[in-house]
């Protein structure tokens, strides 16, 4: 299901003066879906409470001409876990998807995937975090209870069944949804896969409908790794390769130009 639940997003933002603060605040506060904005110029940090996707909030900040990097996400509730998957493959598809456990039975999934053909694409958590043969070695859908494939709202479904994400004419799918079966602590170390076609949600009558949703080949995938919650990521330098968060920001999300050992900015 889509989510209108507000969450808090912590960004590092390149700001040097009061006019920078004013520009960022104005861009955010005039946007529908933004509940509150707190800005710390000395720390170059912006905390936004919003029901928008992280990509939408980042785009609002960067519309002022300043770079922004998401450093953490969370809620006012107890921190139950945050994870991130960087998607890539042999083709042009790449993206970042984050998971935030907002309650014991609600997981927020926030992501942006680029390079897709316009239209719906199946999105699933797979059982294995194994990319030795690209997405082919990720195993099957995460299905600890041995159920048939289904829609996210169905009781009869794989835990990893997240339904479809919709790519627009520009090939980008930006989404924010909640799931009642996914648990962050169960999926860390597994993988997330986006498929070439639409998931029929087990209703298509095809021999693969009850297994995979007949959603075609696996386009891109990534291992689901533990990520930072609010205020858990004070670093300005990435320990994995010594680059600043701004240099990291300019690298591609996945694929060519990014080492597989690099860590996403939210995990620096």
Task: Identify whether 268 is part of a domain.
Answer: no
Looking at every residue in the chain, the average pLDDT score rounds to 86
Average pLDDT value for residue range 179-183: 95
**Contact (Cβ atoms closer than 8 angstroms) between residue 45 and residue 13:** yes
Residues forming a β-bridge with 39: 46
Structure confidence at residue 102 as a pLDDT band (50, 70, 90): confident
| Least confident residue range of 32-36, 72-76, 224-228, 234-238 | 234-238
Average pLDDT value for residue range 57-78: 86
Task: Identify whether 232 is part of a domain.
Answer: no
**CA 164 to CA 139: how far, in whole Å?**
19
Domain count, the chain: 2
Task: Identify whether 101 is part of a domain.
Answer: yes
Q: Which residue has the tokens 């799931």?
A: 179
Give the DSSP letter of residue 116.
P
Average pLDDT value for residue range 83-98: 91
What is the reported pLDDT for 246? 45
Q: Which residue has the higher pLDDT, 81 or 126?
A: 126
Structure confidence at residue 94 as a pLDDT band (50, 70, 90): very high
* Nearest to 117, CA basis, from 192, 197, 53: 197
Q: Which residue has the higher pLDDT, 174 or 241?
A: 174
The domain that holds 54 is classified in CATH as: 3.30.70.100
Phi, psi of 207 (to 5 degrees): -55, -25
What is the reported pLDDT for 98? 92
Share of the chain above pLDDT 90, in %: 67
What is the reported pLDDT for 77? 63
Cα–Cα separations (whole angstroms), residue 116 to 143, 233, 262: 26, 31, 23
Task: Identify whether 177 is part of a domain.
Answer: yes
* Nearest to 50, CA basis, from 99, 101, 95, 110: 110
What's the domain range around 191?
82-226
**Contact (Cβ atoms closer than 8 angstroms) between residue 11 and residue 61:** yes
H or E stretch including 99? strand 94-103
Structure confidence at residue 210 as a pLDDT band (50, 70, 90): very high
Task: Identify whether 241 is part of a domain.
Answer: no
């Amino acid at each position: 299901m889509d989510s209108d639940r507000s969450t808090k997003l912590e960004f590092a933002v390149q700001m040097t003066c009061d006019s920078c603060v004013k520009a960022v605040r104005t861009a955010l506060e005039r946007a529908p879906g933004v509940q509150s904005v707190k800005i710390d110029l000395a720390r170059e940090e912006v905390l936004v409470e919003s029901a928008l996707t992280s990509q939408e909030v980042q785009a609002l900040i960067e519309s002022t001409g300043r770079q922004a990097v998401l450093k953490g996400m969370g809620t006012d509730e107890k921190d139950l876990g945050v994870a991130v998957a960087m998607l890539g493959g042999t083709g042009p598809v790449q993206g970042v998807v984050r998971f935030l456990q907002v309650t014991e039975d609600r997981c927020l999934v926030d992501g942006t995937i680029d390079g897709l053909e316009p239209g719906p694409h199946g999105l699933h958590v797979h059982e294995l975090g194994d990319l030795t043969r690209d997405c082919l070695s990720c195993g099957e859908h995460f299905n600890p209870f041995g159920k048939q494939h289904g829609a996210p709202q169905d009781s009869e479904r794989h835990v990893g069944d997240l339904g479809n994400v919709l790519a627009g004419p520009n090939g980008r799918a930006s989404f924010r949804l909640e799931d009642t079966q996914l648990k962050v602590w169960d999926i860390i170390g597994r993988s997330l896969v986006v498929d070439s076609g639409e998931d029929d949600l087990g209703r298509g009558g095809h021999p693969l409908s009850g297994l995979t949703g007949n959603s075609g080949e696996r386009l891109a995938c990534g291992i689901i790794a533990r990520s930072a919650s609010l205020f858990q990521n004070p670093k300005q330098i990435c320990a994995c390769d010594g680059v600043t968060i701004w240099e990291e920001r300019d690298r591609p999300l996945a694929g060519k130009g990014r080492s597989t050992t690099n860590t996403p900015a939210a995990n620096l």
